[in-house]
Amino acid sequence: MEDIKQVPSFLIKLYEILESEQAAICWNKEGTTFQIQDPELLTDQILPQYFKHRNYQSFLRQLNMYGFKKLKNKQGKNEFVHQQFRRGVKNNLLKIKRRNQEDIKQSLETLTKEFQSESYLIEHEKMRRQLMQMQQEQQRILYEIRFQMDRNRKLQRETQDIIDVSYYKLMQKINQMKNYSVAKLNKLVLIIQKLPQDAQISKMAMLKDKILRKLETIEQDNCQLKDISFDKQESNSYYEPNLTGVRSPAGYSPKTK
């Protein structure tokens, strides 16, 4: 255990990260190499936890400093190997030494070029994810707009049905009132005709006033009916949002009447 304390902290922490079975970085099946599965996750979460920084390039420089070599991976992942760095053989960390300055300089030049290319790929992937999130949000908003438009059309139809029923009932009521008034006037005329001549003249004068008042009432009813009819026509107006040029979510087809 005393000897392990002499191992550089970078190697100890790297070994602990791999032993903790992280999703972003892991051993291969044989435990002879390790692979970086998700550089972005490694940079954002694991490096700050173990090394107090988010510098992925610094992490790669440390690997190079201790002689880790980068391998070509069929899946395109970053894979590193060191002869003395093996799963389950922690004591071998004592055998890993820092490289001399000349070797480090040459390796760093190669590593820097690889890192620049990899950084571009990471940034490209990050932007692609952000674009996908924006597209998903746009589709969600479009779906919500279409849903609200369908809902408004449904409410419009229901409101129009209520107006139509009320209008029909009102027409019936007015017609009934008209028919009742006409029938009553006819009955009065028949009664007056059966009276003596002098009485008929007096009653006809009274009847004239009643007829005028009834006609005035009917005229007022007609005016109210015209106003209601105008309001009914105005209620039919419906304005929808202009969505010209806006793409609908895939597979969505709004219902129309």
Secondary structure (DSSP) of 155-195? HHHHHHHHHHHHHHHHHHHHHHHHHHHHHHHHHHHHHHHTS
Mean pLDDT per 10-residue interval, the chain, length 257 residues: 74 92 91 92 91 88 89 84 92 84 59 64 81 91 92 91 87 82 73 63 62 65 57 50 48 46
> What pLDDT, on the 0 to 100 scale, is given for residue 115?
62
Q: Are 244 and 168 in contact (CB under 8 A)?
A: no
Q: What are phi and psi of 123, to 5 degrees?
A: -65, -40
Reading the block at residue 153, the tokens are 């059309």
Q: Are 64 and 57 in contact (CB under 8 A)?
A: no
Q: Are 118 and 39 in contact (CB under 8 A)?
A: yes
The single-letter code of the amino acid at 243 is L
> What pLDDT, on the 0 to 100 scale, is given for residue 61?
86
Count of other CB atoms within 10 angstroms of residue 136: 11
Residue 17 to residue 15: CA distance in whole angstroms: 5
The single-letter code of the amino acid at 229 is S
Q: Are 225 and 174 in contact (CB under 8 A)?
A: yes
